[in-house]
Amino acid sequence: MRFSDDEFKFREIINKILIIKNINIGINLARENTVDNFDSILCYCYVDEEAGISFEYLSSYILKGNILLNNLKKDCMYKFRFKNIENDEYIIFNNENTGINDIDIKIKKIKEFYDSNEDTKELRKYTIFDPFRVNGFPDHVEIYLYKEGLNTEKLYVRLCKTDGERNFGKLLNEPYQDFGIHLHDIIEIFILKYNSGKIILLHQC
């Protein structure tokens, strides 16, 4: 499957080890240019709330034969973002034992730093937000600001807080008009459904 396929679901790859067919990233991040004819890289996928879907390079990989080259740089972190691989093919690596030393330590560090906001993780499960999520940024959604006497503006928020009934996001743009809210403010998100069936996300000031 490719990340660009219509069937792609971001939830299926988060906190998973993936095989990605991208030789260039492997050449750039490997400890040294290996003579092995690898055709893929092994990566750990996670979400950086600000930078979106991200990947930690683990090893170069030979897809035919399922061979790991085990060139992990255990003392360094090598990240790349969704935009770097959005047209590439990928496979979920289902073997629990990679055979790579220190891989568990590296993944644990990533989880401790990037996987601690329980509200954010819960909001990623809400399929109602899926049509409004920014490609590669599952926590970022488009929202309309409404205030009587002003033109409606479309901006973006980062989903950050929920109590199960009310949902909130951090404003990622400064409104052009005086809505009384500003960049980085936390605002409540309302779901508005028209009689036609169309749904939008809205904040009324």
pTM over 0.85: yes
Residue 95, helix vs strand vs coil:
coil
Domain count, the chain: 2
**pLDDT per residue as tens digits for the range 122-162:** 999 999 999 999 999 999 999 999 999 999 999 999 999 99
How far apart are the C-alpha atoms of 56 and 46, rounded to whole Å?
A: 8
pLDDT score of 67 more than 60? no
Domain final position from 58, 81, 116: 116
CA dihedral for 176, 180, 185, 189, sign (positive or negative):
negative
Domain contains 3: no
Residue after which a domain boundary falls, among 90, 116, 142 = 116
Mean pLDDT of the chain, nearest integer: 86
* Structural domain of 45: 10-116
CA distance 38 to 66: 10
What tokens does 145 get? 């600001």
Nearest to 66 by CA among 29, 97, 89, 44: 97
